[in-house]
A and B are shown apart, each in its own frame.
Chain A
Amino acid sequence: MNMKTLISAVMLAGLAGTASADEKTVTLYSSNPEQAIEAVAGAVKDKASDIKLNSITGGSGVLLRRLEAEAANVQGDIFWSSSFNTVGAFEGVFQAYESPELASIPEKLRYPGNLFTPSNVHVVVLMVNENQLGDLPKPKTWTDLLDPKWKGKIVVADPANSSTGYTVLWGVHKMLGDDKLKQLAANVAVSSSSSAVQNGVAMGEYAVGLAFEANAYPYVDGGQEEIKLIYPEDGTFITADFAGLVKGAPGGDAAKKAFDILMSKETQTELLKTSFRRPSRGDIEVSKIVKLPEMSAIKVFDIDEKEAATQRNAFLDSWRSFAAAGAK
């Protein structure tokens, strides 16, 4: 094949991939893992064959800043998803939208004015690699992890760059106080991203990872037998993840339709099955679909999301000083 035919073949393939008469394009900015995005893309394809869902992935901070930067020339339609305190700083980029699906979501989880819609609930777990415990007993509570024997065996994501890390450490700070947080800081390794936490525990780099259930469970589901999830007996922390419709979304009504599909019972059930995201909807029985406990069976320590958001900078400063002291 000469160069010309090669090029035209490639061009044709490219055209075939993108062109189709009245297809509408909706762009999803997502911080979720690939398999979750595929489940949503699949649902959109089934329910609205005229909509083509494209996705851009990255850390939630990166994507939100990008939406902000693109405000003059809007590129994205839907942002999915991040925590209360993260999306809260970007309210100006989004438009309020009352999805018909909102009726099935408990009032307690909703965002003021429905500027964002809660898509799922994250539960903090201790992700344990039993092969790496050595002589240490399996931890049952947060207090168990404060023992100096755990030094270097625990990994948590940097709270400055990861909402997982922030939820975990803010929770410990509220539940056990700063003295205990200092003790924990002396024991943990801090990774730059939350995906490095799960990966580190799965590869046996660390014995315990402080992670979200939905991100840790795939290793149990995948059949890695030494991985166990522990819901601390002294209470764990939950945080809702929010999705939002971008102000001036170029997709228009198609974007709203895709948003409704994302929030629908079927898609949320599919997301639970494929990527283990505990839905925010009250009408899905989690334990019947996957081997995760019902929310009612988990002891939760309540967190005030607004307080966590307003005190963010002060808390990050004190965490940095604890972490620096702990590293010595």
Chain B
Amino acid sequence: MIKALDLRTPWPWLSLAALVVLITFILYPLVNILTASFGVGDVENGWSRLLTDPRGLSAIVNTLILAAIVTCTCVLIGVPLAYVTARYRFFGKSIIALLPLITLVIPEVISAQTWLMALGNNGLITRFFRDFGIHLPSFYGWFGLITVMTFVYYTYVYIGTVASISGFDVHLEEAAQSLGTSPARSRIKVMLPVILPSILASALLVFTMVVGNFAISMILSNQLPLLSVVTYQAAVSEGGAAPVMQSTFATVSVVMVMLILFFNRWIVSRGRFEIAQGRGARPQPITGWKGAAIGLAASFIVVVSLVPLAVIAVGAFTVSRGPVMQWGNWTLANMERVFVTAPQPLVNSLIYAGAATLIGVAFSAVVSYLIIKKRNAVTPWLDYISSVPLALSGTVLGIGLVVSFNAGWLPLTGTATIMVLALLVRRLPFGMRSAQATLYNIPNSIEEASISLGSPPLRTFFKVVLPMMGPAIASAAILTWTTSVSELSASILVYSGGRETLTIQVFRLIGSNLMAYASAYGLVLIAVILIPIVVATKVFKVDVFASK
């Protein structure tokens, strides 16, 4: 229900201010990219050039195929894993609790590098098979991309599904069975429709992340053209003067992801099952060979995802000379570098991510309140625009900010502001989602009671609504923090001298093949991400991964 603007309250003014901010920092850069794709000055229209560019076209097709395959493999691993952890108890289950953390903390560059050590031309596994006369396909190209992306992204499906499976009311399944349906059939007929939206939502998230993936694609695609790589290469060869092709490719990626998101919305709106808070299934213990087999398979997946972490931990304390690692010789020199010799990246990361988190969470708390509780003609637009960054890859966002705020009326290039802005815009949807989800559950009557007792609207917001949003804000803050600290693809396009963050430093060091230093910065990066999560979950009992 949309009310006419009531200009006596502060809400319409706040809504307008928020709209201006969102338009400036999200829509304006996006529009700049879109218009640039139609040509700048006398440079030809990017779309007609794209049609005659076989490499560009095959990049689009390859990206779609890759994203479709990786989405399927992630679902095939993530859903069964979520099912067994939600419904059963078995040996080794506790380490699976680590899963959600892994994806958040391991820089993708390091994952790709570690996988090359195992499955590259000279990898451990490749050599093992070669001894038996079996030649694995080259890891560069489809094989490597699918493998690495699957093991990096399946946890998103796992996280997205596990909550809905454990929240599924077993009474329904029992009812189906008591009516004579077989257990397997009742699971498919009754449980699947209920958990399908969350599987689909997380699968589509994986799809969009594959489309936008930068680090793994750069390292493993080699001669296989992919959208993110050709976008980056176009950005490299065109620069900021006439950004036509990079804008065209960026637009293709935006449209692709937009379509996916609309598809997601359509699916969700089509079949909606409201489940009253029911009784979740208690995990059943399974023992014997069956339990051992499930435990082994599940732990195998988790251990494989943990290998890069182990490599960083060892590498961070290993002696090196230039690019050559002297495994087995230990040192603290790499760590000394992170904390004493060159601590600027650590300090920068803490400041920029800290600022992005504070501003982002405050902004999303207020704006979500406006969207849900103080609807007016403006607020639906706040909702749409603030979810736009979900459709933008980091590269697209970075290009947009650079093109828009390089000079002109708001020159931000070279400032710390643009770094914070890049993180803030990229991660805003996380905060918004968390805040909105809880607001739906806060009844209007409480607020109305406060106002009718004489408390002015703003005071009611701070004294009544905000405290009730507390837990959601805490979990939004932690999500924003972790994802901001690990952000690479947008910040690498906008950073300037002396403003490098931990992830940029890791990327730079890996580019120079200095794995020991890269590991040390990488390990500190992981600590910076993990410590707040551990403190929040253990000390403040915040449910970080509540995906409700």
Contact = CB atoms under 8 A, between A and B. Distances in A.
Given A10-B350, A34-B514, A195-B512, A224 B222 contact: no
B512 A33 contact: yes
Interface string B254-267: 00000000000000
A218 interface: yes
B316 to A, nearest CB: 16
B239 A224 contact: no
Given A14-B347, A203-B120, A27 B222 contact: no
Nearest to A196: B219
B16 interface: no
A14 B351 contact: yes
A204 B344 contact: no
B41 interface: no
Interface in A17-55: 17-18, 25, 27-28, 33-35, 52, 54-55
Contacts of B237: 61, 65
A68 B322 contact: no
B324 A206 contact: no
| Most chain B beta-carbon neighbours within 10 Å: one of A11, A25, A327 | A11
A70 B117 contact: no
A57 B514 CA distance: 14
Contact of A73 (B218, B238, B344, B413): B413
A35 B351 contact: no
B236 A59 contact: yes
Contacts of A28: 497
Contacts of A290: none
A61 B240 CA distance: 12
A66 interface: yes
Nearest to A225: B324
Contacts of A72: 406-407
Contacts of A199: 323, 513
Given A34-B509, A73-B407, A222-B321, A192 B240 contact: no
B320 A17 contact: no
A75 interface: yes
A191 interface: yes
A294 interface: no
Contact of B514 (A35, A68, A192, A200): A35
A17 B499 CA distance: 11
Contacts of A298: none
B223 interface: yes
Nearest to B355: A7
Given A27-B497, A192-B229, A221 B322 contact: yes
B324 A54 contact: no
A218 B222 contact: no
B406 to A, nearest CB: 6
B498 interface: yes
A279 to B, nearest CB: 19
B241 A69 contact: yes
Given A18-B498, A70-B406, A161 B236 contact: yes
Contacts of A289: none
B121 interface: yes
B343 interface: yes
Nearest to B139: A205
Interface string B280-299: 00000000000000000000
Contacts of A57: 508, 511
B117 A203 contact: yes
A14 B352 CA distance: 11
Contacts of A55: 497
Interface in B437-496: 495-496
Interface string A114-134: 000000000000000000100
| Most chain B beta-carbon neighbours within 10 Å: one of A27, A206, A222 | A222
| Most chain A beta-carbon neighbours within 10 Å: one of B240, B320, B323, B496 | B323
B406 A327 contact: no
Contacts of A61: 236-237
A70 B241 CA distance: 9
Nearest to A327: B223
A266 B117 CA distance: 39
Interface string B351-374: 100100000000000000000000
Interface in B205-239: 218-219, 221-223, 229, 233, 235-239
A11 B406 contact: no
Contacts, number: 138
- Chain A: number of interface residues, binned into ranges: 35 or more
B411 interface: yes
A206 B222 contact: no
Interface in A272-286: none
Contact of A69 (B117, B402, B508): B402
A13 B347 contact: yes
A315 B321 CA distance: 38
Nearest to A60: B236
A223 B324 contact: yes
A295 interface: no
A103 B191 CA distance: 81
A26 to B, nearest CB: 9
Given A14-B351, A68-B240, A219-B323, A75 B413 contact: yes
Given A62-B236, A75-B496, A205-B122, A69 B512 contact: no
B508 A198 contact: no
A57 B348 CA distance: 17
Contact of B343 (A17, A193, A223): A17
B121 A218 contact: no
A92 to B, nearest CB: 10
B324 A219 contact: yes
A105 interface: no
Nearest to A75: B414
B326 A195 contact: no
A202 interface: yes
Contacts of B219: 196
A68 B323 CA distance: 32
A189 interface: yes
Interface string B398-426: 00001000110001011000000000000
17 contacts: A10-B347, A14-B348, A14-B351, A34-B508, A56-B497, A61-B236, A61-B237, A65-B241, A69-B239, A69-B402, A192-B218, A192-B229, A195-B513, A199-B513, A202-B513, A218-B513, A224-B324
Given A73-B411, A73-B414, 13 more contacts: A17-B343, A27-B498, A34-B508, A52-B498, A54-B497, A56-B496, A161-B236, A203-B117, A219-B322, A221-B322, A222-B320, A222-B321, A222-B322
